[in-house]
Amino acid sequence: MTKNTDSSELSRISFVFETSCSADCVLYFMAGYTERNNDVVEHWRGSREKQSYSYIVKSNETISFTWAFQRTEGYTTERRYSADYAKLYMVHVTNVIGGVASQCRHCALGSGSGCVPCPPGHYMLNGSGVCKRCPANTYALSACVSDCQLDLHHPGAEPSHYDFTPLANTTSFQSGPRFTSKGLRYYHSFSIGLCGNQGRALALCVDNVTESRREVRGHVCQATVVPSEVRGQSVVSSQPFSIGDALTGVTTESSLGHITSPAHYFPSQSSLPDVIFYYRSAEVTQACKNGRTTTIRLRCDPTVTEKDQLSLPSNCSEGTCDGCSFHFLWRSRHACPLCSESDYKEITSACIQGIQYKYSKLMMSSGEKECELPAADSCAIMEGEDAEDDLIYLTKKSIFGKIKAFSRERTSDGFDSVPLKSSSGLEMEMS
């Protein structure tokens, strides 16, 4: 198969089938490296009306597809249920080497009769067949990427700027332990590549049960992990599959593109909305006919010191309640919006003895944001005077709670004396 680096979908096999059974028949669809070394991708039991199924190929390797029809699971030497059948009406494979075209698309025409791609620095607009030069100071991307920075607009408020770069690297975490009927402990392991996959590896889940290691890559993937000492490995990972191939969008809304992130899964007391990343996987199964979807809620929490604080819904301990829609909550201080100029109020004092105090007070309405206050300035410092700046720290708890080094005259007991004037005009001294 030929390789297309711009998409996670390298090839796709689709087929239309029908089964008619009077017993417990099963139709198996298998994929593997050879006819004798393959895995069951999907199976259908009993009679099925005419329907289609698609399987996405993501690795540039030789793959053998096999269909097997079993009329009954019971063993007998008699020939029974001979009228039961499975029919394949159509098998369609895309992007095969030396194959025929299944559809046509516009491409740039060169001087000859062949079809050539646009040269570097050019692009084709709306399938016109004509290459256009990129505007000045721009270049054409080979694929859609995210730099992990975005501005979100809230009704009646100024846009909030977010920078999720510290969360961009691949992150892995596990669900709580599960146990089989024989007491064997296992986990569901999730791997997340939140954004910014340009030059950065996507999330990876593997199957290392056999010598022929199999890998699944995507923005979000899942595998089953069993603690083991097989072949010196600390864990055995199996059954990897993608639950998020493509980033659909990022918003504070609880739904996007027919994908829903229920707010009651992760209750919040904060007035600051969660930023939700929406992902979709095109691989369909018998249960997930529209593919799988994943939502990741990023919640601003300045108290979290760890970078990776991910959790699953309390009522869906495996991350999903239906097997097709997965939901995660990521609490982090890096999920807070960055402060803007409108979040500060500048206060400038009078110039007294060559010193002027200028400081920025964080507005009470700014909420949970990551901010850095600017340093104080000095004015007209005369020769021989001390140029050291004194800083005032004010919080919303008490305006006098953290006054520090405001006066240059100290009392004998080591405390600072600050002259204050009340509304009646009387001077008071607080120490």
- Judged by DSSP in three states, 208 sits in coil
pLDDT confidence of residue 140: 75
pLDDT confidence of residue 8: 66
Q: Which of 158, 344, 144 is nearest to 250 (CA)?
A: 144
Domain ranges of the chain: 11-93, 104-143, 147-338, 341-431
pLDDT confidence of residue 184: 82
- Judged by DSSP in three states, 314 sits in coil
Q: Is residue 233 very low, low, confident or very high in pLDDT (cuts 50, 70, 90)?
A: low
Residue 335 has pLDDT above 70, yes or no: yes
- pLDDT tens sequence across 377-400: 445 444 444 444 444 444 444 444
pLDDT confidence of residue 201: 57
How is domain 147-338 classified at the architecture level of CATH?
Distorted Sandwich (2.70)
**How far is it, in rounded angstroms, from Cα 62 to Cα 28?**
20
pTM summary value: 0.56
Residue 137 is given by DSSP the state T
Contact predicate 69/47, CB 8 Å: no
Q: Which residues contact 45 (CB under 8 A, 6 or more apart)?
A: 24, 25, 26
Query: What is the rounded end-to-end Cα distance, in angstroms, of the chain?
Result: 81
pLDDT confidence of residue 331: 92
Lowest mean pLDDT among 12-16, 179-183, 210-214: 210-214
Query: What are the CA-CA distances from residue 171 to residues 111, 192, 222, 292 (Å)?
Result: 49, 5, 12, 20
Residue 425 has pLDDT above 50, yes or no: no
| Percentage of the chain exceeding pLDDT 70 | 68
Residue 5 has pLDDT above 60, yes or no: no
pLDDT confidence of residue 127: 61
More confident residue, 36 or 304: 304
Residue 156 is given by DSSP the state T
- pLDDT tens sequence across 42-92: 999 999 888 888 888 887 788 888 999 988 877 666 777 788 899 998 888
Phi, psi for residue 351 in degrees, rounded to 5: -85, 105
CA angle, 121 then 201 then 237, to 5°? 150
More confident residue, 123 or 397: 123
**How far is it, in rounded angstroms, from Cα 37 to Cα 214?**
13
Question: Mean pLDDT score of the chain, rounded to an integer?
Answer: 75
**How far is it, in rounded angstroms, from Cα 428 to Cα 430?**
7
Contact predicate 293/321, CB 8 Å: no
pLDDT confidence of residue 431: 42
pLDDT confidence of residue 123: 81
Give residue 95's Cα distance to chain centre: 28
- Judged by DSSP in three states, 408 sits in coil
Q: Is residue 6 very low, low, confident or very high in pLDDT (cuts 50, 70, 90)?
A: very low
Residue 111 has pLDDT above 60, yes or no: no
Residue 370 has pLDDT above 70, yes or no: no
**How far is it, in rounded angstroms, from Cα 232 to Cα 397?**
57
Q: Is residue 265 very low, low, confident or very high in pLDDT (cuts 50, 70, 90)?
A: very high
pLDDT confidence of residue 152: 84
Q: Listing from the earlier edge strand, what are the strands of the sheet with 310-311?
A: 246-251, 275-281, 292-300, 325-332, 310-311
* E strand map for 84-184: 85-93, 122-124, 131-133, 149-152, 160-163, 171-174, 178-179
pLDDT confidence of residue 330: 94
pLDDT confidence of residue 363: 52
Counting every residue written for the chain, the total comes to: 431
Q: What tokens were used for 320?
A: 């999903």
Q: What tokens were used for 207?
A: 């199957």
| Percentage of the chain exceeding pLDDT 90 | 15
Where does residue 285 rank: exposed (0-12), middle (13-18), buried (19+ CB within 10 A)? middle
- pLDDT tens sequence across 204-223: 898 887 777 788 888 999 99
Q: What is the mean predicted confidence (pLDDT) over 18-45? A: 86
Give residue 20's Cα distance to chain centre: 43
List 298's β-bridge partners, or say none: 275, 330
More confident residue, 189 or 130: 189
